[in-house]
């Protein structure tokens, strides 16, 4: 995928070589190409028609001039930038009907590319806990937090790829999330039962996209839920590769965000989450972009289950992860 500004430059230079002096149609061509590019990478939807997946509302300011006579380069670029800034919302059906409309709050993450991977999926539900008679599957709760995180990042102008995608489970607010097996790996790959093949499939998807976005700010976040003895409750903790200073910094920023979040929401308890290296984890070892591996808690522990069962808590987890990612981007 071409960098949008590079694309603008190429088109403007091409315009100068064409006969005639009036190229009023060029800014609109640039906008269409830019929107198409953004739709393609905003929240990856596999082989579906991207133009129908995400539609951006464009409001043309009354005082915007479209004439490119005179200094064509500067006026064309200035006009296109004005139109791009007027894009205020996205429509992302993957997020579900309630959350599909995403309002762009600001562009503090413009230029950042995030690969989000929820643990397990397809034929492998991961760890299983129980809430009364209901099973609680790791992949369903990890997915809900991950897709909520995707939405928050998009609100700040980031490019987001959901590597594990469920075609019909958007953001869900019910406490018990129904277990299914229809998740796919980007772009539309059936997830294999073999753990090694499944992990390799996800890593290959991330690394292929990483090459396409060469030169951009790129980070990978993978979200899991742990399984330990029922009596052991744990705080959210973070892993990174031992040789990745950037990965460690990324994990540390998110960890600090959780420390602040718990201090505000539960001032009378200590937050015991940690940051450590786990280079032996397959995705941490093999993904090319700096990676942070997040464990949200023990799905078999009654106290930790409240972290997953309540939709507001799942949203808080996504918000705190996003806050750490934003801090890392601002201080890059």
313 with 102: CB under 8 angstroms?
no
pLDDT at residue 83 above 70? no
- What's the mean pLDDT when you consider all of the chain? 83
Residue 232: per-residue pLDDT: 83
Quick one: tokens of 148? 């909520």
Residue 307 or residue 67, greater confidence? 307
Angle at CA of residue 72, ends 71 and 74, nearest 5°: 75
pLDDT at residue 28 above 90? no
Per DSSP, 167 falls in state S
**What does the pLDDT look like over 88-98, one tens digit per residue?**
899 999 999 99
**Average pLDDT rounded to a whole number, residues 227-241:** 87
136 with 176: CB under 8 angstroms?
yes
pLDDT at residue 11 above 70? no
Q: Please give the model's pTM, rounded to 2 decimal places.
A: 0.79
Residue 233: per-residue pLDDT: 80
pLDDT at residue 38 above 50? no
pLDDT at residue 280 above 90? yes
Task: Report CA 13 to chain centroid distance, whole Å.
Answer: 34
Quick one: tokens of 268? 């009378």
Task: Name which of 42, 41, 44, 18 is nearest 29 in CA terms.
Answer: 18
Residue 227: per-residue pLDDT: 85
Looking at the DSSP bridge assignments, the partners of residue 276 are 239
**Average pLDDT rounded to a whole number, residues 320-325:** 98
**Average pLDDT rounded to a whole number, residues 83-104:** 88
pLDDT at residue 49 above 80? no
The proportion of the chain whose per-residue pLDDT surpasses 90, expressed as a percent, equals: 70
Residue 239: per-residue pLDDT: 98
**Average pLDDT rounded to a whole number, residues 264-268:** 92
Q: Where are the domains of the chain?
A: 4-91, 94-330
Q: Which CATH class is domain 94-330?
A: alpha beta
Report the C-alpha gap between 150 and 153 in whole angstroms: 5
Residue 30: per-residue pLDDT: 43
Any idea which of 24-33, 70-79, 123-132 has the lowest mean pLDDT? Answer: 24-33
Residue 230: per-residue pLDDT: 72
Any idea which of 1-5, 45-49, 80-84 has the lowest mean pLDDT? Answer: 45-49
Residue 242: per-residue pLDDT: 98
pLDDT at residue 58 above 60? no
**What does the pLDDT look like over 156-202, one tens digit per residue?**
999 999 999 999 999 999 999 999 999 999 999 999 999 999 999 99
**What does the pLDDT look like over 300-315, one tens digit per residue?**
999 999 999 999 999 9
The proportion of the chain whose per-residue pLDDT surpasses 70, expressed as a percent, equals: 74
Q: Hey, how many other C-beta atoms are within 10 angstroms of the C-beta on 32? A: 12
């Amino acid at each position: 995928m071409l960098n949008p500004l590079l694309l603008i430059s190429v088109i403007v230079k091409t315009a100068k070589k064409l006969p005639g002096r009036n190229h009023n149609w060029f800014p609109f061509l640039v906008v269409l190409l830019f929107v198409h590019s953004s739709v393609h990478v905003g929240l990856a939807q596999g082989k579906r028609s991207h133009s129908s997946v995400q539609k951006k509302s464009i409001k043309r300011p009354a005082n915007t001039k479209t004439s490119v006579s005179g200094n064509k380069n500067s006026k064309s670029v200035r006009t296109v930038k004005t139109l791009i800034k007027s894009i205020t919302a996205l429509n992302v059906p993957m997020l579900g009907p309630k959350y599909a409309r995403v309002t762009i709050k600001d562009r503090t993450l413009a230029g950042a590319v995030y690969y989000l991977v929820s643990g397990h999926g397809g034929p492998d539900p991961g760890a299983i806990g129980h809430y009364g008679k209901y099973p609680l599957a790791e992949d369903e709760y990890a997915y809900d937090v991950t897709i909520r995180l995707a939405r928050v990042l998009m609100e700040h102008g980031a490019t987001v790829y959901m590597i594990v995608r469920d075609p019909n489970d958007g953001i869900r607010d019910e406490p018990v999330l129904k277990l299914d097996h229809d998740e796919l790996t980007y772009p539309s790959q059936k997830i294999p039962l073999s753990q090694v093949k499944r992990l390799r499939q996800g890593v290959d998807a991330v690394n292929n996209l990483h090459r396409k976005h060469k030169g951009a700010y790129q980070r990978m976040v993978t979200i899991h839920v742990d399984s330990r003895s029922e009596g052991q409750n744990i705080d959210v903790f973070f892993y990174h590769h031992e040789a990745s200073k950037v990965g460690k910094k990324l994990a540390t920023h998110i960890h600090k965000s959780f420390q602040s979040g718990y201090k505000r929401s539960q001032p009378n308890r200590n937050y015991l989450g940690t940051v450590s290296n786990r280079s032996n984890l397959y995705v941490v070892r093999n993904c090319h972009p700096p990676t942070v591996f997040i464990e949200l808690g023990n799905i078999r522990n009654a106290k930790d289950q409240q972290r997953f069962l309540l939709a507001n808590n799942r949203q808080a987890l996504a918000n705190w992860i996003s806050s750490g990612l934003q801090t890392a981007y601002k201080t890059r």
